[in-house]
Amino acid sequence: MRQSTYLVPTLREAPAEAEAVSHKLMLRAGFIRQLAAGIYTYLPLGWRVLRKVETIVREEMDRAGAQEILMPAMQPAELWQESGRYQVYGPELIRLKDRHDREFALGPTHEEVVTTLVRNEVRSYRKLPINLYQIQTKFRDERRPRFGLLRGREFLMKDAYSFDLDWEGLDRSYWAMYDAYNRIFTRCCLNFRAVEADAGAIGGEGGTHEFMVLADIGEDTIATCTNCDYAANLEKAEAAPGRQEYQEVTVSKYEKFHTPAIRTIEQLTESLGIEPQQLIKTLIYLADGQPVAVVVRGDHEVNEIKVKNYLGADHVELADAETTQKVTGAPVGFAGPVGLTIPILVDQEVAAMLFGISGANERDYHLKNVRPGRDFPLEKTGDFRNVVEGDRCPRCEGTLKFYRGIEVGHVFKLGTKYSEILGAKYLDANGQEQVMIMGCYGIGISRVLSAIVEQHHDENGMIWPLPVAPFHVHLIPVSVKDETQMKLAEELYGRLRSAGVEVLLDDRDERPGVKFKDADLIGIPIRLTVGKGAAEGRVEYKERKTGKQQELTVDDACTRIVELVKASV
């Protein structure tokens, strides 16, 4: 491609609204342009990278035996009503009407469409298992679209759906996708982890994994073991229970003491000169409208997902001040487990305490020498807290460390959630009707672009790894007015291209400084500069990543490049 007529509108400064490095660089390097919040045009360079990632995804999905299809973005509302998601999905679902006033939605995901398709087309066990995928534009009216392609409202996703005869079959389909995802993200040169995630009521053990690219801009917290390969997102992460030496102690009866105007853990620890782990913290929640108390140590936070799963509730939220007052008889800040008549969920770390300080359920009072098990019941003990860094790994002797992650992919065991409700059934070998067992598997293809840039850049711009680079080689004649240079550049351009190398030829009549700056910003991995050495058939070879520079003969440069490109696919 010739840069003089190619649409690469580079900018010296990034627009002020761009926060994430990847967003700034993609705007500056002319890869994308925003049309509306969370809605982008891919310019030629951005589109080329998108296609490369798409190709990798497609190759690995095909290799795993999935079949590509393309489903409509526009979907009748009835379908969503049938699955019950028309209301549940909420404002993220973009709704519209046609000229006959019929309601439609723009697909944020395709469980409904694909399940109906398979329901109608697949009836016999002989046709199963089947895994259908597509690469398609998705629409989600995100509350906070941001960070460029990382969280868009219109974005490109690969979504796949597997249909199996039974749960063992689903297991095979699931792990085949898991393996394919590992290959995909490895080929995209990403530093990532597959982490256990919360599957809610369905899925069971290993029911869902998220593929997380490690990056500070990531919106998710993941806990990984420093010793083994345990990794889970914060919602799901568990810790081995704290070790406690058995102690034969007698704890005297709990005692009320005056704590005027002290409402927070910080105020309490400060005024008493104690550590937060000596405190028993009590929070009142509403689980499907019913009040429950959740008790964790003062230095821990309640994990609402764990509470929700334990209770089998649909919805869990912190109770308002009024409810708390009604349930505890005291304003917020003085709740404690002693004497409560609502269910009390006790975190295992609290159950292991010998005694602690808690609220007294009375304004301006706390209790000391509160003994779990003696002073409040431990029937509902479990893991109800978020892990913290330094906690012990649930699998080995290692400790947990936190990272921030960008979720680029997600594999999920759906079970019969959609096949049941939408009637996707097959006839087994005995002619009996059975419900298909489903899995779904997504990759945010456009999000992957940003994730790659988050991990591959420096202060001068992007640094594309060869397998996903928009072009393999940036060929730069220092002066287009110099005939010798231009002749050699043209010769190289033809020769490399006929060997299957993708070349961007900077044939612009610009100062060398401008060309080199743009080249660094765009981040094509190999730069060939045709300058003074042109007369002797020599060119300058430079790696964008290391900055290593070397003068080579044209032949040597071509041989090296062709080898590198071959090895990269």
Binding site for ligand ATP (CB under 6 A): 109, 140, 142, 151-152, 155, 157, 407-410, 442, 444, 446-447
Nearer to ligand ATP, 60 or 540 (CB): 60
CA distances in angstroms from 208 to 233, 409, 412, listed in the order given: 11, 11, 4
CA pair distance 427, 438, nearest whole angstrom: 16
**Taking the complex as a whole, how short is the minimal distance between the CB of residue 149 and ligand ATP, in angstroms?**
6
Nearer to ligand ATP, 233 or 328 (CB): 233
**Taking the complex as a whole, how short is the minimal distance between the CB of residue 412 and ligand ATP, in angstroms?**
7
Question: SS3 for 294?
Answer: strand
**Taking the complex as a whole, how short is the minimal distance between the CB of residue 288 and ligand ATP, in angstroms?**
23
411 forms beta bridges with 209, 441
Nearer to ligand ATP, 53 or 353 (CB): 53
**Taking the complex as a whole, how short is the minimal distance between the CB of residue 536 and ligand ATP, in angstroms?**
50
Nearer to ligand ATP, 197 or 330 (CB): 197
CA pair distance 28, 32, nearest whole angstrom: 9
Q: Residue 567: which H helix or E strand, with range?
A: helix 554-568
Nearer to ligand ATP, 141 or 551 (CB): 141
**Taking the complex as a whole, how short is the minimal distance between the CB of residue 157 and ligand ATP, in angstroms?**
5
Nearer to ligand ATP, 151 or 515 (CB): 151
284 forms beta bridges with 293
CA pair distance 547, 469, nearest whole angstrom: 17
CA pair distance 74, 97, nearest whole angstrom: 10
**Taking the complex as a whole, how short is the minimal distance between the CB of residue 48 and ligand ATP, in angstroms?**
19
Nearest to 178 by CA among 67, 64, 62: 64
Label each residue of 50-109 as H, E or C: HHHHHHHHHHHHHHCCCEECCCCCEEEHHHHHHHCHHHHCHHHCEEEECCCCCEEEECCC
Nearer to ligand ATP, 157 or 338 (CB): 157
Q: Residue 551: which H helix or E strand, with range?
A: strand 549-553
Question: SS3 for 230?
Answer: coil
CA distances in angstroms from 42 to 26, 403, 451, 522, 530, listed in the order given: 10, 30, 16, 14, 30
**Taking the complex as a whole, how short is the minimal distance between the CB of residue 364 and ligand ATP, in angstroms?**
42
Render 174-187 in DSSP notation, one character per residue. HHHHHHHHHHHHHH
Nearer to ligand ATP, 157 or 296 (CB): 157
Nearer to ligand ATP, 146 or 456 (CB): 146
Residues 6+ away with beta carbon under 8 Å from 421: 82, 83, 84
Q: Which residue is nearest to ligand ATP (CB)?
A: 444
Residue 359's φ and ψ, nearest 5 degrees, are -65, 160
**Taking the complex as a whole, how short is the minimal distance between the CB of residue 83 and ligand ATP, in angstroms?**
15
Nearer to ligand ATP, 239 or 406 (CB): 406
Q: In 390-520, where do the E strands start and end? A: 400-415, 425-427, 433-435, 437-444, 457-458, 461-462, 473-477, 503-505
Residues 6+ away with beta carbon under 8 Å from 233: 195, 196, 197, 198, 210, 212, 220, 221, 222, 223, 405
